[in-house]
Every structure is written in structure tokens, then in C-alpha cells.
Structure 1
């Protein structure tokens, strides 16, 4: 197979599958079949070694080999994660090495005689999304295997999964849910959409078992796939045209992107190539889907990974159609209040569910920027993601409590758990009613200090939070959301329409638009940089935000014009993110002013004023405030990024998430210096981010002199209640001494003072 064109490689792969089909049909025992399999693969790939390892009792056992010493069969064993074979099975990933011994996970097994061989390629044998074995080849010469050879190995591994399952060699102990019991358990994950719900477990997708993998008639299989594609596209068109929550909003852009994937020719071509190699229609779809899953494991870019999830969602739909197994939980219908369980969901699949009975969603994967999260928010369905073990821990029909506010899932809850959940629900509803009653009351302290409370937003529909919460305006409109949910770079006209809608909906309340913060960990697949930019070691500190925008000034010019034209006759508030030095602000402001002059020069209406501000997220900027402040109308402190940069601690890292504290003296002293200098210069200062949305932390910020907070809509009520119970002057009188003391427990000091003063800390 080496050094052959694609067509020849496909024919060779088909020949292997045909010969394997004969082996599978033969009336010989499992060992004899596997012995034949390694001979067939080794000969076809001109490989000195071909070996099959199977997972038995939690250990990978050498079951058959061509090339290694026969006496090592059933003797050589590797734990999951041990050696190259163990790594492949543990990570469910492919390895392709020209020099195996140089790999850090290489483990030498002397009984095999493998010291003669240099090159190594191995693929997992996967069944029901779990590795049940490994197929490996080795060559004496040092060389990397060609892509077509790896493709052939992966295809053969898929057929092997069927063979070993039919022979009863699947390790049931490894595949059954050993971790599941019938007792109550609390699982935690990532908060994606807030809310609380209760219901019985429904698995989104009953697993489709592929009965046959090797095709008898490839043309017939191809026609089956074509018919399934037509039916799937009709379903997608029907669903996207019948979405109930209106035509406006980012969720509609999401559905359009999803529909684009359904018509992707590259996807269909890959399935066709798999059929050409000798697979049935079902096996070909599954083969391409396995490849997608493996790629997803290698993708650190969350936005690109989300798009891969959409493709997997469509693969599941296509597989159900072609196999005739159409019964998703949505199509079968929900019979009672339900909590949906899935590894991941596409947006269109969520839309199929009866919203009256769907009380929540729990995902093993998922992210804040995933398309399904955006659609779920629009539907009002609470979602908890990243609950890794949920599908092993629950059974169909189990009763669940879902607390989206705390990202918790209670499985088979005890009566005490239910009582606590109900009590919290009552309290939540009561507090929500209290906060709603405060909507029209100003956030004024006991000593008549007026604090400005604004909301963070990023979607068109988020503007409704202004009326619901009584907020003073939008202190941070994240313009990048429109870029993240689009399949291509949004046109200037599309951007302008969104910005105008937001301004009109806000009325006379101010909106601060932050220019796009993309790049780094929010990379867009349609904006590829050079090789060095494709994968960054520290994306949060990488080529992103103002750095990217100034390098790609066409993007920023288009956004500037869209904002200027949308704000015609109004005041436009623009904020630049990730500014490190004053010259970056100067360049960005000059670009906006050039666009204002361009629009005005064509006798078009422009904003009657543009107010310019910047985010302070990079600590270096604090050392240049004397130069920058005279140029600013306002300054916003981005507490999320600033904190991780000050502590050199990735806030997304699970081991570091609790390592630093927003109420650390180091943070508060830094903020106090910035606030003092900014206020003295007569520049408005505000706080953006999660810090200001927590009542005790918000109290500390106010104590430092910060009187404008931009927070999540859900935090407006609790923070307003805190402000109305606070004596600001008394707090500010105490802050200097607390900061000077350098106490390790500033949180305790602030909490104690708040309790003594009767401050309402939620």
C-alpha cells in the first residue's frame, strides 16, 4: 500500500475488508480468526509486524501477532496508559512514529523481540465510544506511515470491533458502568444556562448498533447514503423554518450555520471514500464520525471544537436515517417532566424537544460558546455541561434535580436532598420576586451615594434584561459573539443592523460597545493566521483582541464603520480590549476617527459624539496611566483577565481556579492605586466582570471608589440590595487601614464588617 495513489489505496483497503469478511464468516474459533487477521493486514501493508491487543479485565493483552515472538501472545500485558499501546487505548487516539523508542511513553517488553523495529503506528479499536483494543503495525525501517495507511488501519480497526464483539472477546467488565450504583450522588459541572429543573432521565440518543460493516454492493450503499442526505436536509429545512422563538437573534445565525454543515460537500465526500474502501453506509458514517471525535480531542480551540460538535450531531441524525432507527428521545416524545442527558447536542436537535416537558439538559461536554448553549438560553432551558461521568452514573428513568445556578446535578436524590432543593427553589423564587419589586428603585446607598449598575451583554436578546432588571445601561456589549456564531466573517451591514437594534432597544440608556475580542482562545476557523498562530501555548495572553484588530485593520475598519453608522445622531461609547500600552489606544482611536471622517465626507449622518475608553486587563497599562488618562473618557477594569495576569494563574485551570481570591490584598491594593489615579484625573472608572457580580466583592470595589459596575443581569438584584443596605462613607473610612495591614484574610475582615453593619450580602 505505501506510495500508491488514493484510488489504489482505496482498492487495497477494500481488498483487506473483503478478506476480513471471509475470516469473520468462517467457522473457526476467535483465536484462529485473529491470527489470520494479523497476517492479512501485515501482508497488505508490507509490514513486518502486525499485532492486536485486546482489553481484558482492564489490561491490554497481546492476542495475536505477525512478526513479534509467538511466545509473547497472552503473556505480554500493558495497563491502560502504559507504553504506546496503553496510551492509544487510554486516550482513544492514533499514534504514528518513525522512531518508537524516542517517544516518552515507549515501554520495552523484551519477550516480544520488538527491539528490531523502529517505526510504529497504532489505532484504537473502538466500540460504543470506548477503546476495547489496539491494532498496531511496526517496520524495521525508520519511517512515518502515510496518511492513507493510517486511514486503512482505522477502517480495519472498525471492522475488528465487530469481529471481536461477535466472538465474545469484548471486555464486559470494562464497558459496563462499574461506577454506577443505585444510591444518591451529587455531580458538578460547568454552568452554561442558569435555572433549576427536576425530571426523569431521558437519554437523547439510544445507541445505534451497526450490524454489518463490510459492504456487499458499494453502489447500493452509496445510494442509501444519498437518500439519507436528502431526507436529513429536508428535516433541517423544516426545523429551522419552524423555530418558535422568533426570527431575530444570534440563535438564528446559529441555525443557519448548522444548516450550512448539512450541505457540506467535503463531509459527503469523506463518507463516499469510506464506502469505496468497502464499508456499508452505516459503517462509513460511523468511520467518519470516529475520525471527527479523534480530531475533537486534539482541538484546543473551543470555537472550532463547537463546530465539530455540530458535525457530529448531523452524523448522528444521518446514521439514524440510513439505519432506519429514527427514534431519538425527541421523536419518540417526552411522556413526563424530563432532564435530557447527552454527550453533546446540536442546536437543531434541542429544538425538536417539547419545551413544556423538557426541564433541563446535562451534557458530558459543552461550552459557554457552543451553539446549543445559545439556543438553550433563547428557549429558557437550564443547562449544565462538562459532567464527565453522567452517562455512566444514571439510567433511563432515574429522577434528577438540576441546579443550573450552581452547576450541580443530584442523581436519585434522597428525600432530604429534595427538601433542600425545594427550599432553595422557594427562596430563589422569593428573592427573585423581591429583586423584581426593587426594579424601579435606584441603587442608592444609605448615605445617598448613587452607584451606576449596568449589565454585560453580547446577544441582541440580552438587551431585554435592561427592562427586567431596571439596570442603568449596558456597560459591556461583547461584539465578538456575532463573530463566534457565524460561519464566515459577518458583513459590515449585518454588524450595523445588530448595533442599531441594540441601541434602539436600549433607548436613552447608554451602551458601551467593546470592539471584538477574538483570537487566542477564541480563534475563528475563517480567520487563520500563520503556522505559529494556529496553536498558542498561552492563548489568553496571545494574538487576540486589540493586537489582532490592529494587525487585521480591515476587520476593525468594518466594525468601526458599522458602529459609527448604527449610532448616527446618538452618542457612541467605544471600548478597546487588551490594551497594553497607550500607542495601541492611539492607533485604535485614530482608525475610528478616520472612519467617522470617511462617513461624514459622504454626507451621511454620524454620531453627535464618540466617547472612547479602554479595558484595563493587562497590568502593564497601570504603569502608563499618566500618559493614557488624559486621552480617555472612561476606564473599565476587566477583573477576570486582570486577576489571572496578576497572579500568573489561568482562571480556567481546575487546580488554580480557587488558588487566588478577588479579595486578596494584592488585588485590592492594585485596584486602589488605579482607582485613585483615575478619579484624580477626572475620568470615569468602572468594573467589568464576575468580581462586581458578587455582593461582597462588589462592596469592596465600591469601598475603593469605583461607582460604576457592569455585571450579569442575574446579579443586578442582589448587588442593588447590598448597595441599599450599605453606608459607603463608613466603608471607605475603613478601607485604607485594612489594605495597609496586609491581612491574609481580607475576605474574613470584609465579611465581619458587613455582618456588623447589617449589609445585605447574598
Structure 2
């Protein structure tokens, strides 16, 4: 804000304060306000429109025909004034009549005026009116004038509400006009249905007081807030134990640059000098930033402006004393969380009983929060642009992550249809829950092992809720993902011991840490692995653990100590060559020897296994099989490697079918290659949790599935209806001579036998 704008705004604010403090009635005050603004900005016309009964009504004017007051009305989105209210942005035109949205109103007598500028009067993120100025000469208003006008509009919003210039009827009409039903579209990150009230992860600060009483006091508040914010950013940068590098370092450097930017500080202080409170000054500068963001085409620069927006929100929360997230404030009812992005640790802070879903402006299929949300059974919709501009705190939301949509403020009809669908889903879930104590035995008497995947301490409750046979995959990396630094060995030991104790006599298969690829850790730096073009096939999982043997040694010792007196199940991920298994087991053998020497209590038995995710391992199973106790086929990674299709790419996520003969023949070949060896073979991954796909796996001879807890009931139901001898014979025929559409053929076969499949 220039010194001219500061002076103009201060002059207007001082005079407005006097007007609103007078004992005149509301209409007289508004008339005087229009005169004051027009005079101070040397503008021939100044008009104030307020939203009333869903329409923008001319409430006061200087320069237009007085007979038009309370007569001229236009809908939100209609004409220049309506467009400003709808889009909540400023308009500055040298020749108003040439604009495509110009709407001529003869009763106002505005035909002789050419220039036009208007700004929205915003209250709680909603346009409650429009403040406009006009001039006979065709000219664009100077930046100093626009800035003064925007500052005045901020103050007007508070003064209008405090003076009861918007009645309850008008306020409810505002809600009707600007909060109708809207559908959001995004990218499905975690499937599922959910309903609840919108809750912002970082609640927006409501600015109650706009005009400052003591300018120096406000400047001091901002100074202290900047100090605290910079301290936070510096602390974030120093928290990493092994340095940052890569994108994380770039992001923090950008944050630092903005946090210490003197221009940003100066603009906020100038806004305070004009008469605004610290909060209003930050918001005023933020509004200007948002206006500029809309005009930026460069996506990289737009991202940097988003960073500044994030910092401004942080500064606003600090200066107002509202520092906590929605998690610290607590959820009061069923909620759908709204955020630009979210970390896994932040998600875990929320009450899982009330958090029903998450909608992100950003997010990707492989982001950490998605990995954790999937384990928690919370549906997530990502890549929803302009989310904050559509959704408001407390809005009712219906999240359909299956269809990649969310309905904001749904109509009664839509709500009813969704509830019916939701109720049907709940009925099915209740039916599945009734199968908790039912053992999964096929019609021809074959017992199938149905286990769950887990990664959080809270997941253990699902063992008893589902009646699962154990945990076929415990993802130990979750503890690493939600930590700011590398978890100490003692912390790892406590977690693993707690998990085994909670599981009782049911087996728990611990997969050694699978980090790297889509699960990068800011505190674990590796120069050669940064910026990988295809991280899924790069420096990850066992490759990381073998290179950073200190990491694997600590985990090995933690697992061995936690498994004392029990049978310990250890699985190595991403094994491509038998020597990698040998090297990993050697680390465990070394730690086992050390613990024996220390006379420590040891596990009664240790069963070692591998995840078959890399196709190359399938060609060497005859060499590996004698050394292992079990083999788990990891269908998620295996599929992307077989098809050379990155599963984090939305365009490829649904392109290749799990019921492709290529995958099924591959698994069939794996089963044949381990015949005669005393090892258990199972499938771990989403493929085993889908009924039709599970049926195919049973037909291939798979007798152990490790799946999400939600899939246990449907798979148990499927097993009970299937004759495994019959499906095995059918599968043999299909793979020998595949039909054009194997999925359709299998679905028809199952339906003919009364087997329900999703």
C-alpha cells in the first residue's frame, strides 16, 4: 500500500468512525458513508449495494438518481455489481459499457458515467454487498484509489453488520444465494462413503474487529507474531536429524524467504497505519495476494503464492491467539476434514470415531496421509481445486470417494438418495460383522486363512471385530512416517511387543521397513536417490535397509527383543535376488548372536519370508524356497511392475485389470514353481480383498489372503459359497484358452452359482 493509499484510507476510516458513532438511523448513516467515500476519493459517484432477500439492492448513492435507491436490484452474478459479488473480486474499468457483463439500468441515470470500479464487501468469507465508484471521464482508477476502496470495504462490512444494516431476512437470503448445492470433483485417493459437517484442518480466523484503537499496539502485535512465525519455520528446518534435501528443502527455503520478506512486512504495517487492526491488516494484504494469484498463469509461481497464503494464515492464527488445528480443538460431531494437504501424524491426531472422511485441495495416490488413511478406513478425495472458495465451515457434505465426487450442501432429495445408499452399505457391513466368529471354510470343506493388513497400534482392534486369523502384514514403516526423526530402537521394541501381546495367539507378520519410493522420509537423506524419475522401482524398501544397515540392525534387534518367548514372523519386502534375502537374514543372525551373548530371552522360533513383488524373483524361487518359511505375493507392486504402469499415475490406475490372464498366469506359474517345498504361499494386497479377484486367487490354489479389515466379511461370505474344486477346474480352462473378457466370464460363472461378487 502506497503512502497516498494509507493517507486516503486513514482519512476515510476516521470520518466513517464518526458517522457510525452518531445517533442517526441506519439509512442516514449509509447515505453519509457514500458521501464521505465519494468526496475523499474525489469520485462523482459512490454507491453501496447490500444483499437483501437474495438480491443486491442499491441502498445508498452519491451521484446516481436518488429515486433508484431501494428500487434498483440485481441478482448475484447479474451485471458488473452482481459479478463482483459472485466472484468476490475487484473490477476496475475505464469504459464500463464495453464489458460483456454490463447491465444498463435507466432508472439510475448512470449513462453519462464511463469509468467504473467496484469491490466486494465481504463478511465471514461471503460477499454481503458491493461498494462501487464511477466517473464521467473514461479512465481506470489509480492503484492508490483501489487500495483505499478495498480497505474501506473491509471496514464497511463490520460497520454494516454492527449497525444492523443487514437484517436476519437478508442474512438468510445471503445463505440461500451463496450457499446452494454444489458438486465437487476430484481424484479418488481412498474409496468409501461418508457424511458429515465440513471442518477445516486449520480453522479460518474470524476477524471481529477491523478498526484499530491503538496503531502502535497493533504494530507491536504484528512484530511479535512475525518473530514467533519465523522461529517456527526455523525450528521446522532444524528438526530433521539427517538433513533434508530435495523438495522438502526447497519448500522450507521458500517459506523462509517469504517469512523474512521485508516487502510483506512493510505492506502489513502500512495497512495498520491506515487504521486497521493487526488481523485486518494481514487479511487486507492477503486479499491483494489472492487477487494477484488469479491473474497468474505460471503454475510454479502460483504454487509459491500458495506458500505465501499458507504463511499468512499461520501469521493470522498466531496474532489472534488461535494457533491450534481442528484436532486440538476437538471434533464435536461426524466430520469431513478439509485441508490443502495433510501429514500422516496430523491425521492420526483426530478422533477416529468422528472423523468420517477427508477432502484435500492437493494430495496424491502415494502421499503419506493416503497410506495412513487407507489403513484407518477413512475415504479420501484429493485434487479438488478451489475447495475453500466453495466449502464453508459447518457445511453439510456427502463424500462419495468411490465416484470421486462430493456434494456440498445437498438438497433433501440428494441427501435422501445418499442415505438410502449408505443404509444399504451399512446393512451389508452388519451382515459381514455377523460372520466374525464364522471360520472361512469352502463348500467342499477347505479352510482358508483370512488375515488383515495393519500398521497402527489401533488396528489391532480389527482382529477381534472381524474374526481374522491374524495379521498377514504389519507395515512397520508407519511408525517411521509419523515421526519427525528416526524412531529409537526402544520405541520400536515397545510397539512390536504391544502388537504381539494384543494379537495373543494369532500370528503377526512384521514386514521390515518399506521406505523410499512413495514413502520418502525427510530425515533420511540419500543423494543418489533424490529426484528419481520412477521412485517405485528405485532406492526403496530392502535396498534402503541393506545400504543403511544401521537402520535394519536397530529394527532387527527391536523385533527379536519384542518377540522373546514367542514365534516371530519376519518378512522382507522388494526382494529381487536370493542374495538380498541372505544379506537381510544375516543382519538378523548377527543381532540374534549378540542377544544370545547378552543372555537375553529370545524368540521360541523365527519364521522368515519374503514378499514377491519383483517379477525377477519368480525366476529364482527354486533357489530361495528352501531358505524361507512363507512367501507373500504383493499384488499392488507386482501389478505395476508386470504392466510397466505406475499406479500413482491417475491415467493408469484403472487401465490394467487384476483379472488379466497376464497376472493370473504369472501367479499360476509361481504356485507351480513352489510345489514340493514346505512353505506357505499367500497373497497380500487389494486384489485379495475384492470378491471376484479373491475367487480367481482361490481357483489358482491360494489358501491364505491378507487384506484390509473391511474386506474380511465379504471374503468370508465368498469362501462359504465357493466350491474350490469347481473354481480351480474352471480357472484352469480359462487360463489355457482365455475368453475375450475374463472378468465378464467369471462374473457370469459366479452369478449362475449364486455367488455374490462386487
What is the alpha-carbon distance in structure 2 between the residues aligned to residue 471 and residue 633 of structure 1?
21
The alpha-carbon distance between structure 1 residues 398 and 569, as it changes in their structure 2 partners (threshold 3 A), is closer
The alpha-carbon distance between structure 1 residues 689 and 356, as it changes in their structure 2 partners (threshold 3 A), is closer
What is the alpha-carbon distance in structure 2 between the residues aligned to residue 553 and residue 403 of structure 1?
44
Deviation at 1:309, TM superposition (A): 11
What is the alpha-carbon distance in structure 2 between the residues aligned to residue 310 and residue 470 of structure 1?
47
Corresponding residue of 2:599: 603
Query: Aligned pair 1:687/2:687, yes or no?
Result: no
2:202/2:324 contact within 8 Å kept: no
Deviation at 1:312, TM superposition (A): 8.6
The alpha-carbon distance between structure 1 residues 731 and 493, as it changes in their structure 2 partners (threshold 3 A), is same
Of the structure 1 ranges 508-517 and 380-389, higher mean CA displacement relative to structure 2 is found in 380-389
Deviation at 1:393, TM superposition (A): 4.2
Deviation at 1:606, TM superposition (A): 1.4
Query: Aligned pair 1:478/2:466, yes or no?
Result: no
Corresponding residue of 1:220: 220
What is the alpha-carbon distance in structure 1 between the residues aligned to residue 307 and residue 369 of structure 2?
9
Corresponding residue of 1:752: 748
RMSD, matched Cα? 5.1
Deviation at 1:425, TM superposition (A): 2.1
Deviation at 1:504, TM superposition (A): 0.7
What is the alpha-carbon distance in structure 1 between the residues aligned to residue 561 and residue 205 of structure 2?
51
Residue correspondence of structure 1 range 137-216 to structure 2 within 5 A: 166=148, 182=180, 185=183, 187-192=185-190, 196-199=194-197, 205-206=203-204
Q: Pick from 429, 432, 436: which aligns with 2:429?
A: 432
Corresponding residue of 1:464: 461
The alpha-carbon distance between structure 1 residues 387 and 272, as it changes in their structure 2 partners (threshold 3 A), is closer
The alpha-carbon distance between structure 1 residues 319 and 574, as it changes in their structure 2 partners (threshold 3 A), is same
What is the alpha-carbon distance in structure 1 between the residues aligned to residue 701 and residue 373 of structure 2?
38
The alpha-carbon distance between structure 1 residues 393 and 380, as it changes in their structure 2 partners (threshold 3 A), is same
Q: Pick from 519, 523, 543: which aligns with 1:522?
A: 519
TM-score normalized by structure 1? 0.64
2:338/2:360 contact within 8 Å kept: yes
Deviation at 1:337, TM superposition (A): 6.5
Corresponding residue of 1:447: 444
Which string of whole-angstrom CA distances, capped at 9 and with x for unpartnered residues, describes residues 453-509 of structure 1?
Answer: 010011111111111100001101111111111111111111111111111111111
What is the alpha-carbon distance in structure 1 between the residues aligned to residue 535 and residue 147 of structure 2?
43
Of the structure 1 ranges 220-229 and 488-497, higher mean CA displacement relative to structure 2 is found in 220-229
What is the alpha-carbon distance in structure 2 between the residues aligned to residue 575 and residue 358 of structure 1?
32
What is the alpha-carbon distance in structure 1 between the residues aligned to residue 699 and residue 482 of structure 2?
39
Of the structure 1 ranges 550-559 and 184-193, higher mean CA displacement relative to structure 2 is found in 184-193
Which string of whole-angstrom CA distances, capped at 9 and with x for unpartnered residues, describes residues 249-295 of structure 1?
Answer: xxxxxxxxxxxxxxx999889735648964547789989xx99x99x
Which string of whole-angstrom CA distances, capped at 9 and with x for unpartnered residues, describes residues 696-733 of structure 1?
Answer: 00110111111111000000000110001000000101
Query: Aligned pair 1:718/2:714, yes or no?
Result: yes
Give 5+ residue unaligned stretches, structure 2: 9-39, 44-83, 96-121, 123-141, 152-177, 234-251, 270-277
What is the alpha-carbon distance in structure 1 between the residues aligned to residue 571 and residue 667 of structure 2?
19
Corresponding residue of 1:90: none
Corresponding residue of 1:646: 642
The alpha-carbon distance between structure 1 residues 555 and 21, as it changes in their structure 2 partners (threshold 3 A), is farther
What is the alpha-carbon distance in structure 1 between the residues aligned to residue 199 and residue 487 of structure 2?
39
Corresponding residue of 1:343: 340
2:542/2:575 contact within 8 Å kept: yes
1:754/1:761 contact within 8 Å kept: yes
Deviation at 1:449, TM superposition (A): 0.8
What is the alpha-carbon distance in structure 2 between the residues aligned to residue 161 and residue 476 of structure 1?
62
The alpha-carbon distance between structure 1 residues 428 and 362, as it changes in their structure 2 partners (threshold 3 A), is same
Deviation at 1:343, TM superposition (A): 2.9
**Residue correspondences, number:** 578
Deviation at 1:421, TM superposition (A): 1.7
Secondary structure in structure 1 of the residue aligned to 2:646: coil
1:221/1:275 contact within 8 Å kept: no
Deviation at 1:633, TM superposition (A): 1.0
1:313/1:346 contact within 8 Å kept: no
Secondary structure in structure 2 of the residue aligned to 1:610: strand
Query: Aligned pair 1:571/2:567, yes or no?
Result: yes
Which string of whole-angstrom CA distances, capped at 9 and with x for unpartnered residues, describes residues 102-147 of structure 1?
Answer: xxxxxxxxxxxxxxxxxxxxxxxxx9xxxxxxxxxxxxxxxxxxxx
Secondary structure in structure 1 of the residue aligned to 2:485: coil
Secondary structure in structure 1 of the residue aligned to 2:706: strand
Which string of whole-angstrom CA distances, capped at 9 and with x for unpartnered residues, describes residues 10-50 of structure 1?
Answer: xxxxxxx9xx54577589999xxxxxxxxxxxxxxxxxxxx
Deviation at 1:684, TM superposition (A): 1.2
Corresponding residue of 1:672: 668
Corresponding residue of 1:271: 259
Secondary structure in structure 1 of the residue aligned to 2:697: helix
Q: Pick from 586, 590, 594: which aligns with 2:590?
A: 594
The alpha-carbon distance between structure 1 residues 695 and 357, as it changes in their structure 2 partners (threshold 3 A), is closer
Deviation at 1:395, TM superposition (A): 5.6
Secondary structure in structure 2 of the residue aligned to 1:493: helix
Of the structure 1 ranges 374-383 and 385-394, higher mean CA displacement relative to structure 2 is found in 374-383
Of the structure 1 ranges 697-706 and 184-193, higher mean CA displacement relative to structure 2 is found in 184-193
Give 5+ residue unaligned stretches, structure 1: 1-16, 31-55, 64-72, 75-126, 128-159, 170-179, 234-263, 300-304
1:222/1:272 contact within 8 Å kept: no
Query: Of the two, which has the highest radius of gyration?
Result: 2
Query: Aligned pair 1:701/2:668, yes or no?
Result: no
Secondary structure in structure 2 of the residue aligned to 1:190: strand
